[in-house]
Amino acid sequence: MATVDLKAVSKIYGSTVRAVDSVDLSIANGEFIVLVGPSGCGKSTTLRMIAGLEDLSGGTIAIGDRIVNDVPPKDRNIAMVFQNYALYPHLNVRQNLSFGLERRRTFKSRWRGIWDSAYRTQRHAEHIAITTRVDAAARTLGIEHLLNRPPRELSGGQRQRVAVGRALVRDPAVFLFDEPLSNLDALLRGEMRTELRILHRSLKATMVYVTHDQEEAMSLADRMVVMKDGVVQQIGSPAEIYERPFNRFVASFIGTPPMNMFDGHIGLGSDGEFKFRWGKSEFSLKNRWGAGELSSVAKSSVTVGIRPDRLVILPAAEKQDSSCMTGHIVTIERYGPLADIVAQVNGARVISRIATDTLGAMREGDSITLQFGMQFAHLFREDGSAITSPKH
Amino acid sequence: MIQTSARLLRRLLAVIAVIFVVWAFAKVGVREVQRFWKDDERTEIVVMHWSGEGGQEEDQIVEDSLRQFERENPKLRVRRINPGDAGSFYTKLQTMMASGDPPDVFYVGSERVPAFVSLGLLAPLDDFLKIDSQLNVKDRIDLEGFYPATVQAFQYDGVHSGEGAMYGIPKDFTTVGFYWNKDLFARAGLAPPSQNWTWDEFIADARAIGKLPDCTGAEFVTWPAMIRAYLMTEGVDVKGNSFDEPTTSNREVFAALDRLRSWRHDESGTLTSGKSKIASGSSVFLNGKVGLAGPFGRWVVPSYRKIPPRDQGGFEWDFAPLPRGKVDSNIVLTVSWSISSQSKHPQEAWSLVRFLSGEPTQRALARLGLAIPTIRAAAISESFNDPNQEPANDAGFLTAADRARIVDWPTNPQFEALLGSRLDQGLKTGDIPLTEAIENFERDWRVQSQSPLHGDSFLAMPWTALGWVALIASIASLIVWIAILRRGNLPAHLRSQERAGYFLASPWLVGFALFMAFPIVMSLALAFARWKGVSPLNSAEYVGTANFQQLLQFDQRFRTSLLVTAYYAILAVPAGQILALLAALLMNARVKGIHLFRAAWYLPSVLAGVGVSVLWRWIFDSDGGLMNAALQPLLTPLGLTAPEWFGQDAAIWGAPAFALMSLWFVGGTMIVFLAGLQQIPVDLYEAASIDGSGKVRQFWSITLPMLSPIILFNAIMAIIASFQVFTQAFVMTGGEPGDLTRFYVLYLYNQGFEFYEMGYASAMAWILLLVVLALTVIVLRTSNRWVYTEGQKV
């Protein structure tokens, strides 16, 4: 078990491409950290730098108390699970699992035992120990019956378990996962997610996990790190990041379906309050932001973001006030108990997620009224940064 | 726009291709038709000759003579073939004879007469001569006017040369002797050699010149004919009553040979060392550091005349006939115009021979300085004896001619080859004692002359029956094949696709059947036959398993060649694989300019062939070659000397030298390894490095297993290639010394194309196939222990 500390870690390819730009991250002992972001955001590179598979262009990485910038991967006491599993195709499952342990034997020489009987005994004991550990790991992952098979005879899920087992058997200080579930089908992915979570709880090991799938990140992470273009956007628990995204990118990246964004500007209403003007409508913001915060962005362009489940769509005639707008339904996507209504309003496409049984008689093409729930809205400046709400 | 122009280009190329094909067919067709039309009027005679030492000038003189002949004989047309040097000439002649379409008139060297006559290739000329003299034809050939020995050289009665029928009219000849450097003789204070000098005088001169700084006394070539010429001056020879009882171990013969050996190997500076493969023969004389060079005939004169005069850094030189021992003797080497026994126009051919052997043509050739006319009157004329040209001693060749004898050979060409090869080991390279060399010669010749393949007569090969069997077998297999295809029960549209596929593949299938399958089947049939390869196939005789019996039971040389090849394979295959793999690992690095390095490694594989072999002969030369120049400084501190690769140390270092050379060609193997390396997923290395493996461990645990299918492929290809070494050995050593670098395929070539034992060579080819097949099967069988084919699938 160990902490991992990244200080101003950078990776620059060539002279200009900043794949990872000055990342600071402290990972606590036993924490499950997920790096998430779109492809090319630098999350995998960061992980590979922790593993020692990539050199750093700047900054330091410490595992435990030791700075490991110049320590080769084999001496970092880490284990890694690869996206393509990277099982050794010429070895069977048992040999794959024991490969790392064999490399770390104390009694390495195959020949010395021939004349040195004490050595032979110790080597044999070591062999038994390795076998025991492999068996234990196999049992944990439910792959005992596969131990003598070559990887090519395994299914994707079984290979994934072997890959995890290869890390597990080593009992490393830090587990690294590089998109380990992305080659599995959806069902298996969900199942493995749960198992990884359980595994983490039972091992209490430090785990660093990379994925591009924000749902996976949300479901697994103690804390997640959202990255974009090599820069860390936000670090926090899944709930924090969902509820209080630091910027427009984090807000739109996290959550399904994505947050609805409305580009408008802040103006003074006839009642002397700051209003959000979008199209011909005005919306009051006083329930969520104070005048102080709003005055800083007065008359400038801003974006209001509202998650689909906070956006209410009603049949057209039901209710009309200044916080409502009219439009029509483009399509309705039903997911069992939930349904997404995609509607065209004021030239913009918005999505609302509601319980299916509240759909009523709404149909595609119907006129609707859109009701903004401003008390749940997020407000972003023109540069994308969030205006935090004190009343949240 | 781009698409239309691409389509246009494609159409244009197609049209050009079609035009080209049509044009090629039309051109050949028109030429053949023309030949038929023209032949209606004139009879065509085909003449073949060579012009090696005589070069362009000899070629032109023959051409002019033939045009003159055509003018004088308007009903005849002469087609001339000149393949170049004598070697190419005989190869071409052999193929033409085997195909049943030999030239009507061609050169024959006197040494080939017994072999050619015994194969029935030459027409006897006595009747033509008799009729000419009865009719008293104007230009008739009067053999009385020829040097007698040159006439004897083309007489053969089936056993003895110099007796029996006449098989060629000698066109030129030479006697032999030593060319001497006048400047070195003067510097050593020596008198010029006299016309009848002795071996004692010869060796005294050589020793004196050998004492001059940086000079060697003499280059003494040990070619079989020259060895016999040397022995004849001591009144002895290598043949007893017949060639079946060689006298090589007689006391007097041995004494003479041992004197020659002693001059070379017991003294320093007297004779050239025999170490060098390249600095030997007539070219050694050119550097001006060798006092005497020989025994050579007249043929070196054109190249020696290019030696610049003294004031331009050259030297003056002259000729002295062969020194005398107990006997004053010399030999005659001569070439004739002969007529093929297959000629369809023997009368016309004879008239051409008469013309070409006549005095005017001989005189014209004599002016080149290369050929000595066989007609005495022409020889003593100013045409040959040109006082303005070196050598001054033209007369020396002619006076020697009167005491010269012919050097006859048995019908089996292996006698000469074995004599030269075996004695060279004792006399020249000195890698074995002379007594042993002589024993080897006698043993190997005994095996040859007692072979069941010689002498006995066998039944004719039942070609007709075999042909029927082959025809029936191929029709049957075709029917079975079609039946198998039919049974597939394909839907109609697939069947038509299948037909189209076979139709498109048919050019290759036909080509394969004609040019691969047919020769392969033929060679299998010939493995059980005695066929000389210079006569049509219907002369082949069925010998049962005699070829295999002789090979496996008696032929020591076969065993040696197999051992030499195996020795080479054991060294070259693993070394080549390891080096190629190491190179591939290096070339797999991501370094700037890596493509340049890869190209550099691959380049030598593109350059393979005769040129590279010549280059490597220089490199391995024991006398100043690059390899030893590089090795010696490393070895001297250890008290070692660099090996004489193809000389004294050839038994140990001959095959390894070729293995070393083979490393030059690892580029192809390297490219395959490189492709394999780049297929190995990077994450396996990353996983292994995280699992605790360093670079070395990764190589053993990841690279090697993942590469093992490619290693298997490369190893099998290398094993097959290692048993097919030919060009290098043929060019660099010719199998010498003895048989120490005689690779299997080289020996096969010797048998088939030099000793005319095509059946024997076919049997060897099939044994080679079995050996390679067995090795391949063994490797494949063991491969499931070490090849991880899963690596390709995951």
At A109 the pLDDT is 83
Contact at CB, A80 and B687, closer than 8 angstroms: yes
Asked if the Cβ–Cβ distance from A84 to B701 is below 8 Å, we say no
User: ipTM > 0.90?
Assistant: no
Compute the distance between CA of residue A49 and CA of residue A56 in angstroms, rounded to an integer: 7
Residue segments in chain A with a per-residue pLDDT below the cut of 70 = 1, 317-323, 389-392
Look at residue A321 in the predicted model and tell me its pLDDT.
Answer: 65
The tens digit of pLDDT for each residue in A256-267 reads 889 999 888 888
CB pairs under 8 A between A and B: 74
Report CB contact under 8 Å: B701, A99: yes
B251-265 and B434-449 helices, crossing angle to 10°: 130
Calpha distance B44→A379 (Å, rounded):
106
For position A113, what pLDDT does the model report?
Answer: 81
Q: Do B686 and A73 touch (CB under 8 A)?
A: yes
CB of A104 within 8 Å of any CB in chain B?
yes
Q: Is B590 at the interface with chain A, CB within 8 A?
A: no
Q: Which amino acid is present at B56?
A: Q
Angle in degrees, 0-180, between the axes of helices B55-72 and B359-366, rounded to the nearest 10: 160
CA dihedral A298, A304, A310, A312 (to 10 degrees): 90
Interface check for B686 against chain A (CB to CB < 8 A): the answer is: yes
H helices of chain A, in order, are 43-51, 93-103, 112-115, 117-141, 156-168, 186-203, 214-220, 238-243, 248-253, 291-295
Give the phi and the psi of residue A338 in degrees, each rounded to 5. -110, 155
- Are A151 and B790 inside 8 Å of each other by CB? yes
- Rounded Cα–Cα distance for residues A299 and B280 (Å): 103
B686: nearest CB among A53, A87, A88: A53
Give the closest of B684, B689, B793 to A74, CB-based.
B689
pLDDT category, B3, cuts 50, 70, 90?
low
By C-alpha distance, which of A208, A218, A223 is closest to A167?
A208
| The token pair that represents A144 in the structure block | 């005992």
Pairing of β B317-321 and β B177-181 = antiparallel
d(CA B544, CA A73): 70
Please give the mean pLDDT across all residues of chain B: 88
Instruction: Determine the distance in angstroms separating the CA of B688 from the nearest CA of chain A, rounded to an integer.
Output: 8
The answer to whether B204 faces chain A, any CB pair under 8 Å, is no
The alpha-carbon gap from A153 to the nearest alpha carbon of chain B, in Å, equals: 10
Task: Give the 3-state secondary structure of residue A389.
Answer: coil
Tens-digit pLDDT profile for residues B648-661? 888 889 899 999 99
Q: Which residue of B690, B791, B794 is in closest CB contact with A80?
A: B690
Which residues is B246 bridged to in the sheet? B239
pLDDT at A143: 92
By C-alpha distance, which of B311, B303, B315, B331 is closest to B224?
B331
Please tell me the predicted confidence (pLDDT) of residue A239. 93
Are B149 and B404 contacting, i.e. CB atoms less than 8 angstroms apart? yes
- Contacts of B440 by beta carbon, 8 Å cutoff, 6+ apart: B422, B425, B432, B738
The shortest CB-CB distance from B687 to any of A86, A90, A150 is to: A86
Given this model, what pLDDT does residue B334 score? Answer: 92
Q: Check whether B792 has a pLDDT greater than 50.
A: no
Between B456 and B641, name the one with better pLDDT.
B641
- The reply to whether residue B687 touches residue A88, judged by beta carbons under 8 angstroms, is yes
Share of residues in chain B with pLDDT > 90 (%) = 35
Residues contacting residue B782 through CB under 8 Å, at least 6 positions apart: none
- Domain spans in chain A, listed from the N-terminal domain onward: 4-248, 256-387
Top residue of B690, B697, B708, B790 to mutate, by most chain A CBs within 10 Å, is: B690
- The pLDDT score that the predictor gives to residue B368 is 78
Identify the pLDDT of residue B793.
40
Query: What is the per-residue pLDDT for A376?
Result: 85
- Give the contacts of A358 (CB within 8 A, at least 6 positions apart): none
A4-248 is classed in which CATH architecture?
A: 3-Layer(aba) Sandwich (3.40)
The beta-strand segments (E) located in B146-235 are 155-156, 165-166, 169-174, 177-181, 216-220
Is B695 touching A (CB cutoff 8 A)? no
Query: CB distance B684–A86 less than 8 Å?
Result: yes
Other beta carbons within 10 angstroms of residue B268's beta carbon come to: 11
Whether B688 has its CB under 8 Å from any CB of chain A: the answer is yes
Contact A111, A119 (CB under 8 A): no
Residue pLDDT, tens place only, B739-781: 889 999 999 999 988 888 899 999 999 999 999 999 999 999 9
Which tokens in the block code for residue B446? 């005994």
CB B689: neighbour CB atoms within 10 A? 21
Q: How far is A156 from chain B (nearest CA, A)?
A: 11
Contacts of A82 in chain B (CB under 8 A): 683, 686-687
B contacts of A100 (beta carbons < 8 Å): 690-692
List the structure tokens of A372: 């903004």
Mean pLDDT of the B444-459 span: 81
* Model confidence pLDDT, tens digit, residues B373-389: 898 888 888 878 887 88
Asked if A88 and B688 come within 8 Å (Cβ–Cβ), the reply is yes
Does A130 reach chain B within 8 Å, measured CB to CB? no
pLDDT number for residue B790: 56
A385's tokens: 């940064």
What is the DSSP secondary-structure string of B447-458?
Answer: HHHT-TTSS---
With an 8 Å Cβ cutoff, is A59 touching chain B? no
The confidence score (pLDDT) of residue B319 equals 93
Of the candidates B686, B692, B788, the beta carbon closest to that of A104 is on B692
What's the pTM value of the predicted model, to 2 decimals?
0.82
Residue with tokens 């020697």: B400
Tokens of A68: 């490991």
The answer to whether A184 touches A160, Cβ cutoff 8 Å, is: yes
Residues of B in contact with A83 (CB under 8 A): 683
Cis peptide before B373 (omega within 30 of 0): no
CB contact under 8 A, A152 and B706: no
Search chain A and give the residue with CA nearest B691. A100
CA distance B337 to B353: 6
Q: What is the strand order of the sheet B216-220 is part of?
A: B216-220, B290-296, B177-181, B317-321
B-chain residues within 8 Å CB-CB of A152? 790, 793-794
* Contact call for A90 and B686, based on CB within 8 A: no
Tokens of B467: 């042909």
Using the Cβ of A368 and the Cβ atoms of chain B, whether some distance falls under 8 Å is answered with: no
| Option in B684, B692, B708 nearest A88 (CB) | B684
Q: Which of A68, A72, A69, A74 is nearest to A58 (CA)?
A: A69
The answer to whether the Cβ–Cβ distance between B686 and A84 falls below 8 Å is no
Average pLDDT over residues B259-275: 85
Residue A212 gets which letter from DSSP?
A: S
- The reported pLDDT for the residue numbered B279 is 58
CB contact A71 to B (< 8 Å):
no
CA distance B587 to chain A (A): 22
pLDDT at B688: 93
Considering only CB atoms, B790 lies closest to which of A72, A74, A152, namely: A152
For B687, which of A76, A82, A104 is closest by C-beta distance?
A82
In this complex, the residue of B691, B702, B790 whose CB is nearest that of residue A103 is B691
- Mean pLDDT for B136-159 is 88
Residues of chain A contacting residue B788, judged by C-beta atoms under 8 Å apart:
89-90
Q: Which residues pair with B239 in a beta bridge?
A: B246
CA distance A141 to chain B (A): 19
* Three-state DSSP class for residue B242: coil
Q: Which residues of B touch A89 (CB under 8 A)?
A: 706, 788, 790-791, 793-794
Q: Give the pLDDT mean for B709-725.
A: 93
Residue-level pLDDT at B791: 44
Q: Which CATH code of 3.30.870.10, 2.40.50.100, 3.40.630.40, 3.40.50.970 fits the domain covering A256-387?
A: 2.40.50.100
What are the Cα distances from residue B604, in Å, to B165, B586, B666?
54, 17, 8
pLDDT digits (tens, 9 = 90+) for B663-697: 988 989 999 999 999 999 999 999 999 988 888 99
Residue B280's pLDDT is 63
Q: How confident is the model at residue B455 (pLDDT cuts 50, 70, 90)?
A: low
> Do the Cβ atoms of A86 and B686 come within 8 Å?
yes
Judge contact between B380 and B372, C-beta under 8 A: no
Mutate to test the interface with B, among A71, A90, A97 (most CBs of B within 10 A): A90
Calculate mean pLDDT across residues B525-543: 86
